[in-house]
A and B are shown apart, each in its own frame.
Chain A
Amino acid sequence: MLESYVRKRLLEKGILLMTHLVVGYPSLDGCREMVRAMVEAGVDLVELQIPFSEPVADGPVILRANHGALKTGITVRTCLEFAGGLASQFPIPFLVMTYYNIPFRFGLDNFARVLSEKGLYGVIVPDLPPEEAEHHVSAMRKEGLGAVFILSPETSVSRMARITETASGFVYCVARRGVTGARTRFSPEIVSYLARCRKVSPLPIAVGFGLRERADLNFLRGKADIAVIGTETIRAMEREGADGVRAFMRGLV
């Protein structure tokens, strides 16, 4: 379902745009306004992060957004309800991004079932390597949801092949080492890395971490299928609210 959406959309556009927000930061209403602005600006997919107290793959901006959301007292159930509301209100696919303890505590089968009921398309779990993900993957598969896995410049080609076999929907290629936030310099090293990912992966490939501007998207056109704007989406919101997000997104596409 996720993969076919991406493939269909790619027939119309050279590269898709996926954005990221942390549910409950700065507030649920604030999130809804951001999503409205994104959809109006032509965003193709949105990653909704269910906040976690220990977001180890995230840099300072998203880390603080996680803690900011948790300070409002938001629960996982509320996040899922809210995500379901967005899915029924807006005509684009929504994915859940969260750390493994959240679905683990919720119950992996239960989590997949609720995601499916809410009309969500899949899930990205940055601290869950495929070796630990057997149950998670089967739960997602049973509900027809995308289980997105991550590739990195450190990942060997043979491992890439194994990961893309486990994954469904698309694979998420982090553009560089490190955590979210810091700017990525698009170098020849990245070109050959993305070529490796492309060659190995039967799934569409998304690229994220450190993307900030139109030039980054232009660079990725032809090399990747989805460009992910995470931290910079949240920064635009922090600077100028939903209108800022709209203007920023329009400048990108």
Chain B
Amino acid sequence: MNRKGYYGELGGMFVPEVLIRTFEELVAAFEEARDDPGFQQEYQEILSSYSCRPTPLTFARNLSEYLGGAAIYVKREDLGHTGAHKINNVMGQGLLAERMGKKRVIAETGAGQHGIATATMAARFGFQCTIYMGEVDVARQRPNVFWMEQLGAQVVSVRDGSRTLKDAMNEAFRDWATNMSDTHYVLGTASGPHPFPEMVTYFQSVIGREARAQILERAGRLPARVYACVGGGSNAMGIFSGFLHDPVELVGVEAGGKGLTSGLHASRLASGQGTVGVAQGYKTYFLQDQDGQMKGTHSIAAGLDYVGVSPILSHLRDRGRVRVEAAEDAEVLEAFSLVLRKEGLIPALESAHAFAGAFREIPEMSRQDLVIINQSGRGDKDIFTIAEALGDPGWRNFLREKAEADRA
């Protein structure tokens, strides 16, 4: 039996026969690239000259004083090109696609961050690009749709199922099953069939490697805890993988939505409501009903609004190496505002979950302790969602006047 791509009982490769050869080729290409110093060099070169690596580790002095517990450091993935950690993975897969001679890339996207990163990479590498995005997400992340289209990508609005990330992922698989000969599917998170969980973790592990070196250099010791938000699990796996063999507590924060008993959340692990199943090509914890039908999910952050979760992260949770918490929408908005006011940082709503989870615990920690919070992305893309959630009157007026001027 083939146990490659398994993490305990989780993971695997559950794909239609027509895609098996494509996956075998991808596994081989990835393993070869990983062992090739030339590829490594090219990857590092593109991340530093085209994106912004290393990203800084920022000491949040005001927040640390305000909360009165551990000293807070923020890993600044928001400063990467296109404004989120997604670019790390996308550039790696872009290089891989080029090596494999592909001419076209496709991707699913929820928040639109991964879609923008992929469209950007496609422009840079000269690939054709199609992005699948659930209709619900197209509506709430319009600015990102605009940019993807300006970058030359075709954005396909997916109208089936829950019309969010999982449905966009299904549609990308359908495209790939047809066009695999010239197309690479740039899956955006540490989920999906093998080798994606391993490969995306590998490309994101640069976050943790940097963060570990930076905190040792700056503070001379390791953090007590590292916090990251968990959608599919890529930014969390990226930063956690730098600390797996250290005495550092790793804390993932899922989307608690409107509360874990409301049915409107995306907490697969912390809620205890996720059960092991097989969908989207892999085995992991899903929010599903008795029969195995996937449930609808909710989060204020489109990038966390996903029904499955990384099999690697889930396995680490099961082994007790990672602790997973959930933060609710309201608490996340509060944390978001606090970070802006105290530090002048604008986290993405996804990343604001990591802050919210950390803020709950930091006051109880010793002042001698350090924590790192992964700011996986920047929040200006969320301006429509955030302004609406905060009920900002000036913004509402602006929209109304804009719309009226447009109509005239």
Contacts and interface: CB of A to CB of B under 8 A. Distances in A.
Interface stretch (B12-20, B206-214, B253-261, B360-368): B12-20
Contacts of B13: 129, 131-132
A218 interface: no
A150 B17 contact: yes
A156 to B, nearest CB: 7
Contacts of A56: 16, 170, 173-174, 280-281
B18 A152 contact: yes
Contact of A179 (B21, B160, B161, B174): B174
B21 A54 contact: no
Most buried by B among A54, A126, A156: A54
Given A56-B280, A63-B160, A178-B178, A154 B20 contact: yes
Interface residues of B, number: 35
A185 to B, nearest CB: 14
Given A53-B161, A54-B161, A156-B21, A134 B1 contact: yes
Interface stretch (B34-42, B47-55, B285-293, B351-359): B285-293
A104 B180 contact: no
Contacts of A150: 16-18
B161 to A, nearest CB: 6
A90 to B, nearest CB: 26
B278 interface: yes
B316 interface: no
Interface in A130-165: 131-132, 134, 149-156, 159, 163
B281 A127 contact: yes
Contact of B178 (A70, A129, A155, A179): A179
Contact of B161 (A67, A127, A177): A67
Interface string B294-312: 1000000000000000000
Contact of B170 (A54, A76, A177): A54
Interface in A31-67: 52-57, 59-60, 63-64, 67
Interface in A197-217: none
B166 interface: yes
B278 A154 contact: no
Contacts of A134: 1
A76 B20 CA distance: 28
Contacts of A127: 14-16, 278, 281
B385 interface: no
A100 B14 contact: yes
B94 to A, nearest CB: 24
A152 B17 contact: yes
A138 to B, nearest CB: 12
B15 A105 contact: no
A83 to B, nearest CB: 15
A177 B291 contact: no
Contacts of A154: 17-22, 180
B71 interface: no
B242 interface: no
A101 B287 CA distance: 13
Given A104-B292, A178-B178, A54 B280 contact: yes
A75 interface: yes
Contacts of A99: 278-279
A132 B13 CA distance: 8
Nearest to A79: B291
Contacts of A55: 170
A61 B166 CA distance: 19
B16 to A, nearest CB: 5
A219 B30 CA distance: 41
A23 to B, nearest CB: 12
Given A53-B161, A56-B173, A56-B280, A102 B292 contact: yes
Nearest to B295: A53
Most buried by A among B160, B166, B294: B160
A236 interface: no
Interface string B112-130: 0000000000000000000
B294 A54 contact: yes
Contacts of B292: 52, 76, 101-102, 104-106
Interface of B: 1-2, 12-22, 160-161, 166, 170, 173-174, 177-180, 275, 277-281, 288, 290-294
9 contacts: A56-B173, A56-B174, A57-B16, A76-B291, A100-B14, A105-B275, A129-B15, A153-B18, A177-B177
